[in-house]
A and B are shown apart, each in its own frame.
Chain A
């Protein structure tokens, strides 16, 4: 589903050059739940940005469903994002002046032939547990509710890949658990998830875990808990 070969991202030049991602390889199969750990500045968000086509790599190849995104122009990448990739940010990123339901519907503007519509949006809000807040404005939602609405928004066009950049970074433990349970549920429904976090406690949710340090990525040992948590998919662990 996603193939990353020797991807490098360098910011700046000369003495101010920063190698944010350094020669990373990754192969993600459909339905996997990949967690990438790392401290701030380790390059994990940059890697996610490249996987989502938001940043062009300096070197290397990224293929999504067989398409080399380096060969696509901006419009083609935007189209790919709108159809295949859902993005959840650390901050909720909701537009404050429209309701939860309208926030969820925004991506449908960019994917007019996609499956997303009002009924789908209401169904997603129900699925993430905030159906009763469909008409509420983001300012009246709790952090957890906002995050759930943001997840519903990421799923409106039925993407096959969900990319999450520290989605539980600013949440309390109880809400974090609820969100992770939701991610596991989505993963069990077949959505491929690639998530960045600095919290090693979330490792048990993943089918595979990587750690990034100074732009380089290394596989982490599997957690024995992975197989016991509902929603994790042992078959992918076996494949890798």
Chain B
């Protein structure tokens, strides 16, 4: 102990004075912090999903055989049509990959990647749902890769596959499809789409699998080498996607291919994803606004109950600013303790629950666990907000306490 008393001793003494009331205040702060932190946490997770979603759906244009658009529109109308395309609804319509040479020449395109739907198979040992098998070009793919739970250590090799989240098996394990053995190179995060029960393999493996399938099943329509089901195109940062779509369509007859623009494909989903953060932000805002008068009321009650103590301190020589600082400091300590407790409780709860599965199921979004640095940022933000609330709500009680007549305060409850 120092030769003189430290002011922190007096602050702690003040906090210990009314343990019940202080615990209630701490609980309030903890609730606010937990609310802000969890909202931020969910938003970050949803944003992670949105980022992945936009990357996944990041094709500004999707070039499909003309029959494919008719097929989709014929089966699903309205927004579901868009989802059908985004979700890579399997179809047996294909087009020669020669179209890619012409598409590549359109100025303003930054990425272009083909996809080939091979077959849908019932493979109970891999998934309860029918398994869709696609061929992708690992070198140019920009739609599947962002969904990977962990990035691939190297480019997808021969006889290696990327599997959806519902497919049984972990990376490095082997699976059998149409009597062919494949090694799982990577697994995707849940997408709440048919992608979850899909398998992606290299184009050459896809053609080989199609040939094997054709030999096994007479009803299977053969797939010749050099055909694709769709070509996904991404515009460069300066380019106008609508203009590019028009330019891609230009050299081809509309009866041969159709170019489906980004707006048509993405809007329904991006709106769905962006709505959640807004809702969470609104809930946080309401909690913060509602908490201010509540905390202010508690602070005023505490200050009122401590009139005599404050009068005593004034009688001992405490200046007004000292009393003001003491009341503020106590409130800030309560806010900090509450904030840390609330954030800690959230983290503990999140660690116990399978947040991803819970949110995927309840909110129908794909949740991506934020990284540690992001979590630290969110915790700091929540802590700062509750400390700000503690400060603002204690300003008036602290000011009133400091202006109190010491003589009246001492005699207040005699």
Interface set of A (CB-CB < 8 Å, partner B):
45-46, 49, 52, 54-55, 74-75, 78-79, 81-83, 87, 89, 91, 93, 95-98, 102, 105-112, 116-119, 153, 157
Contacts and interface: CB of A to CB of B under 8 A. Distances in A.
A102 B405 contact: no
B363 interface: no
A119 B414 CA distance: 34
Contact of B320 (A75, A82, A93): A75
Give chain A's interface secondary structure class: helix
A87 B316 contact: yes
Contacts of A97: 12-14, 16-17
Given A74-B320, A75-B319, A106-B316, A55 B4 contact: no
Give chain B's interface secondary structure class: helix
Contacts of B3: 117-119
Contact of A106 (B2, B10, B319): B10
B7 interface: yes
A107 B317 contact: yes
B407 A54 contact: yes
Nearest to A150: B312
Contacts of B13: 95, 97-98, 102
B322 interface: yes
A16 to B, nearest CB: 16
Interface in B298-353: 308-309, 312-322
A111 B143 CA distance: 70
Contact of B4 (A79, A98, A117): A117
A107 B212 CA distance: 92
Contact of B316 (A49, A75, A107, A117): A107
A106 B3 CA distance: 12
Contact of B9 (A54, A96, A102): A102
Most B Cβ at <10 Å: residue of A49, A74, A91, A97: A97
Contacts of B286: none
B317 A110 contact: yes
Contacts of B308: 93
B77 interface: no
Given A75-B320, A102-B9, A106-B5, A52 B17 contact: no
B357 to A, nearest CB: 47
B317 A83 contact: yes
B5 A110 contact: no
B69 to A, nearest CB: 76
B45 interface: no
B132 to A, nearest CB: 68
Given A96-B17, A109-B7, A78 B405 contact: no
Interface string B1-44: 11111010110111011000000000000000000000000000
A79 B5 contact: no
Interface in B398-414: 405-407, 410-411, 414
A52 B315 contact: yes
Most A Cβ at <10 Å: residue of B7, B318, B320: B318
A96 B192 CA distance: 60
